[in-house]
Amino acid sequence: MTAPNHSPSAGYSPSIDMTLQVGHSRFPVAEVGPDYLVVESVHAMRPTQGTLIVTIDGIPALRGVSLPEGLNPDLPQQRFVVVQTTAPTVRVGAG
């Protein structure tokens, strides 16, 4: 009798991409917590609003966010508050 294969590589892992858009600037996001983002290559910005774009298997979901403390490249985590969520667009085939 053989044991079932429970290797993590045996399952499905969707493609996930996270980006913070503020105005015309886009920043890659490495991690999203309940009230913080870990943003890569960020530059200093005053308090502002932006959009967190989470794309899973090519389907984007948008979250309007407020950055009450702005963006600070000296901090490992950037605080945010969700102000609006837009559900992902699901494409359903005809017939």
Is there a domain that residue 64 lies in?
A: yes
CA angle, residues 82, 31, 80, in degrees to nearest 5: 25
Its domain, for residue 55, covers 14-86
The per-residue pLDDT of the chain, averaged, comes to 86
Is there a domain that residue 35 lies in?
A: yes
pLDDT at position 4: 52
* Contact between residue 38 and residue 76 where contact means Cβ atoms under 8 Å apart: yes
pLDDT of 8 strictly over 50: yes
The total of structural domains in the chain comes to 1
The region, left, alpha or beta by phi > 0 then psi within -120 to 50, assigned to residue 69 is: alpha
Is there a domain that residue 94 lies in?
A: no
Its pTM surpasses 0.95: no
C-alpha 61, offset from chain centre: 9
